[in-house]
Amino acid sequence: MAQSKSFAAVRIPCELCPLRARETFRDFDSTELGFVSSFKIAELLLEPGTTIIDEGQRHPQLYTALAGWGFRYKILEDGRRQVLNYVLPGDLIGLQGNLMSEMLHSVEALTKMTLCVFERERLTALFQNHPSLAYDLTWIASREESILDEHLLSVGRRTALERAAYLLAFLDHRAQATGVFPEEGPKVLPLTQQHVADTLGLSLVHTNKTLRRLSDAGVVRWLDRGSEVLERGKLFDIAGWQPSVEGMRPFI
């Protein structure tokens, strides 16, 4: 497992942030922009498999994902792992560490990632001087919460097939909305079946068989280490789920 974190030679200034250009994300006014610009202390480039945050450790930094995929998870003592959610561009990493001294979950990069690095300490200044950003932070936290609600509903009450369909629909939709997919070429969700299993609360073998049913129905295609959604509508039908229409969302 690659543990190397390298600081980028070139650091994208927030003024030129590629995310901000996308219509999904709300704009900053110049004051906010100034603060966030100074809030950002570095940029991290990560290889797939890198651990970003380790459960049980103190972690003085916060991150915003700029590019790439990651995932949050927890493990039990005997190694059973539960994936809690996925990290996409615009997502804040490590917010809940602020209260408890130690992090209560881990985060790992799924693909190459770029992260903006912030100093946790400076959150106080953010709350003091930038109410609108403070509001955004709360907004972000409560959005993550509602995603977890839906996941919990899924793992607790949906069947294996529904769960799988929901997960792929959910990820495909989020990926689309945040614009992680390449302009050209297949829009692939970069997960192994082990990740899917650990997200759905199923065994690897059963996950494989469930995904196969989706493949056979022509709804998705499984690639080398990832999958591609072919029939969005059918997935929604199977899952019994629709993405809720979101307007612009904030990000720090």
Residues that bind a second copy (CB under 8 A): 72, 74, 76-77, 80-82, 84, 95-100, 104-105, 123-124, 127-128, 131-132, 134-135, 137-139, 141-146, 148-153, 155-158, 198-201, 240, 244, 246
Q: Which does 95 bind (CB under 5 to 8 A by kind): a second copy, DNA, none?
A: a second copy
Residue with tokens 């690095």: 117
* Closest C-alpha among 3, 41, 36, 44 to residue 17: 36
85 binds DNA (CB under 7 A): no
CB of residue 103 to DNA, shortest distance in Å: 24
221 binds DNA (CB under 7 A): no
Tokens of 16: 């030129």
Tell me how far apart the alpha carbons of residues 199 and 92 are, in angstroms, rounded to a whole number.
20
Mode of pairing for the β-strands spanning 188-189 and 226-229: antiparallel
* Cα first-last separation, the chain: 29
Residues 171-200 vs DNA: string with x where CB under 7 A? ---------------------xxx------
Q: At what angle do helices 160-178 and 232-239 cross, to 10 degrees?
A: 130
224 binds DNA (CB under 7 A): yes
Task: Judge whether 108 and 224 are in contact, CB under 8 Å.
Answer: no
* Closest C-alpha among 156, 152, 161, 149 to residue 240: 161
Distances 228 to 87, 164, 188 between C-alpha atoms, Å: 18, 13, 5
Indicate the residue among 4 and 124 with the shorter CB distance to a second copy: 124
Q: In the set 202, 229, 235, 239, which binds DNA (CB under 7 A)?
A: 202
Q: In the set 139, 201, 230, 236, which binds DNA (CB under 7 A)?
A: 201
CB of residue 51 to a second copy, shortest distance in Å: 17
CB of residue 224 to DNA, shortest distance in Å: 6
Indicate the residue among 143 and 232 with the shorter CB distance to a second copy: 143
